[in-house]
Amino acid sequence: MMSSSSEVQYGGGDRGFPMKCDCGLRVVPLLSKTQENPGRPFYRCISKKEGHLFKWNEDAVCEEVEDAIPKLEIIDRVIT
């Protein structure tokens, strides 16, 4: 169960959109049904066990953008 970002656990330590948990099981996108985070998208390992991957969608998006910035800067230098 999740209710706040203080419960976020990063099982794999992978950045961006997770595909698999450290345990090898797949990760699924879901929507929170809690009062604190109604409709908030997140990713969770299908095992649902404590300590397995749980990540809010906005954290994954931020990581994707942060990781893309250096690549875009290189492209910008090459084409200018």
Under the banding of pLDDT at 50, 70 and 90, the label for residue 6 is very low
Number of domains observed in the structure of the chain? 1
Type and span of the H or E element at 41: strand 41-45
pLDDT for residue 4 is more than 80: no
Under the banding of pLDDT at 50, 70 and 90, the label for residue 52 is very high
Q: Are 14 and 67 in contact (CB under 8 A)?
A: no
The answer to whether position 15 is within a domain reads: yes
pLDDT for residue 5 is more than 70: no
The answer to whether position 3 is within a domain reads: no
Q: Are 5 and 56 in contact (CB under 8 A)?
A: yes
The answer to whether position 20 is within a domain reads: yes
Residue 65 structural domain: 8-79
**Separation between Cα atoms, residue 69 and residue 54, nearest integer Å:** 25
- Checking DSSP bridges between strand 54-56 and strand 41-45, what pairing results, if any? antiparallel
The answer to whether position 1 is within a domain reads: no
**Separation between Cα atoms, residue 28 and residue 10, nearest integer Å:** 14
Q: pTM of the full predicted structure? A: 0.71
